[in-house]
Amino acid sequence: MFADLGGAQFLMTSTILEMRDITKTFPGVKALSNVNLRVEEGEIHAVVGENGAGKSTLMKVLSGVYASGTYDGAIVYRGEECHFKGIHDSEHKGIVIIHQELALVPMLSIAENIFLGNEHARYGVIDWNANETRTSALLKKVGLKEDPKTLITNIGVGKQQLVEIAKALSKEVKLLILDEPTASLSERDSQALLDLLLEFKRQGITSILISHKLNEVNRVADKVTIIRDGRTIETLTKQDISEDRIITSMVGRSLDDRYPPREPKIGEVVLQVKNWSVYHPIHAERQVIKGIDINVRKGEVVGIAGLMGAGRTEFAMSLFGRSYGRRISGEVLLKGKPIDVSSVSKAVEQGIAYVTEDRKTYGLNLIDHIKHNITLANLGGVSRHSVIDDLRELAVANEYKAKTNIRSSSVYQMTGNLSGGNQQKVVLSKWLFANPEVLILDEPTRGIDVGAKYEIYTIIARLASEGKAIIVISSEMPELLGITDRIYVMNEGRIVGEMAASDASQEKIMRAIVRGEGKAS
């Protein structure tokens, strides 16, 4: 909309959404306290804050997950005060939320997922041709060329995220909310999704973006609202947005150094893996890991870099009790002696621990409390004559809660109710109590904020100083460069580069990936 004032035209923006003095309380916890959010039509508005700051709670209030009457304050959408009783009410108005955990059914087709519960039908019979024709048009809008009949399980995570967006478009979305949309995506897929958001902006669609990746926020956001401890701190306009300013507002202090200082004290070789090969668990002829040789020393943090699909997680899981793959061959040595890692229990007994990249599915029991999760990998450490000593277990849980700074009301809080950063600390505590010689960390800071990341890095540095041998798998190259001593580079199931972190750079790592250069010392 333009206004003509004295011959000059000025762009007039209209407010599509106002959330006024939103307060949401759970038993014993005030999650939101008088939070205000104002979003202009056609903009990309980022909402950032530490884990547990209240971002997702605010979006659940907006989308009707938390129904009107369960919170205080007002939602004004397109000039009308709204009282959403459920998610269907908000979607009817054109407000659609895409959660971090994708809500797709793997064994249904793309078309079936997009129109699930909202199918085109004639006389009570689903018109599959109409659904698939409409799906093709929606997929084209998000840049996908897949057949609508393709099963979700047969496409990658990046494409699944785009299917979720196509699903939102099918509901004639006016305000699109994306909660950590790039958390599980490769760099290339992340850039493609951000480009799509910018294209939606040109088409007049308004977006709210929740992200911990501040470089992405910096790239696409027109405004940024920062929430800390359930309160609105400030809203920055485009010219004021900078990573340093956001971090200071998020954590209440300046983080001059993103990574804790450490002085490595590297000793003898603890772990050696020789000629490790793994085949796909379903496609028996497909070799996933191809003759890998690596070693890790006492007190050393070794990084494994690579693009999505390079085989990093498959390597780690196969090493940890053969929990991935078939026809696994090769040798594992601990302090020079061959060890048996043919099952998870044997790997744990030998002193190897693996912190999975998918903490919610494989790392935690979300419907149990913190205390039980922390002791789960070492029940013998809290038992007498095979009977768990409840007081001993409580003492251990409280000890590791303090050591890793888990923020919770008590160790009896349900793990599923914790923020992502605190859930990750519970997973770390579980394996630290098992007292491993070798700790494999797979994407240890995925989906957590910059403040919680620093705490995880501090824990890693402390473990290295205690003599643990640590492997860190990460898709964030600055993270690997900041916390490791040495980096292996993987591509297509092979080690294609090795370099000291002090000599490494993002360019060198990418060059090794793209060109498959040999090992560089």
The per-residue pLDDT for range 442-472, each reduced to its tens digit, is 988 877 777 778 888 998 999 999 999 999 9
Give the 3-state DSSP-derived string for 14-56, with helices as H, strands as E and coil as C: CEEEEEEEEEEEECCEEEEEEEEEEEECCCEEEEECCCCCCHH
> What pLDDT shows up at residue 274?
96
**DSSP state letter for 96:** E
> What pLDDT shows up at residue 275?
96
- Asked if residue 204 lies in contact with residue 6, where contact means CB atoms within 8 angstroms, the answer is no
**How far is 17 from 270, CA to CA, in rounded Å?**
57
Q: What is the mean pLDDT of residues 29-43?
A: 91
> What pLDDT shows up at residue 386?
86
| The token pair that represents 38 in the structure block | 């104002």
Residue 519's pLDDT band (cuts 50, 70, 90)? very low
pLDDT digits (tens, 9 = 90+) for 241-264: 888 888 788 777 655 567 888 889
pLDDT digits (tens, 9 = 90+) for 179-231: 888 876 777 778 888 888 898 899 889 999 998 788 889 899 999 999 988 89
pLDDT digits (tens, 9 = 90+) for 63-112: 999 999 999 999 999 999 999 999 889 989 999 888 877 778 888 899 88
Q: H helices then E strands: how many in the chain?
A: 16, 26
Which range has the top average pLDDT, 266-270, 391-395, 434-438? 266-270
> What pLDDT shows up at residue 272?
95
Radius of gyration for the chain, computed over Cα atoms and rounded to the nearest angstrom: 25
User: Residue 520: beta bridge partners?
Assistant: none
pLDDT surpassing 80 at residue 295: yes
Residue 515's pLDDT band (cuts 50, 70, 90)? low
> What pLDDT shows up at residue 9?
40
pLDDT digits (tens, 9 = 90+) for 333-350: 999 999 999 999 899 999
> What pLDDT shows up at residue 157?
76
Residue 290's pLDDT band (cuts 50, 70, 90)? very high
Which domains, ranges and CATH numbers included, belong to the chain?
A: 14-251 (3.40.50.300), 265-351+436-521 (3.40.50.300), 363-435 (no CATH)
**How far is 6 from 329, CA to CA, in rounded Å?**
79
Residue 6's pLDDT band (cuts 50, 70, 90)? very low
Give the CA angle between residues 192, 198, 203 to the nearest 5°.
125
131, HSE (Cβ side, Cα atoms, 13 Å): 21
| The token pair that represents 377 in the structure block | 């990998």
- Asked if residue 277 lies in contact with residue 328, where contact means CB atoms within 8 angstroms, the answer is yes
- Asked if residue 406 lies in contact with residue 51, where contact means CB atoms within 8 angstroms, the answer is no
> What pLDDT shows up at residue 255?
56
Residue 8's pLDDT band (cuts 50, 70, 90)? very low
Q: What is the mean pLDDT of residues 132-153?
A: 87
> What pLDDT shows up at residue 1?
44
Q: Mean pLDDT over all residues of the chain?
A: 86
Please tell me whether residue 329 adopts helix, strand or coil conformation. strand
Torsion of CA 47, 50, 51, 57, to 10 degrees: -40
Q: What is the mean pLDDT of residues 365-378?
A: 88
Phi/psi for 147 (5° steps) reads -70, 130
- Asked if residue 51 lies in contact with residue 445, where contact means CB atoms within 8 angstroms, the answer is no
Q: Which of 476, 435, 499 is nearest to 216 (CA)?
A: 476
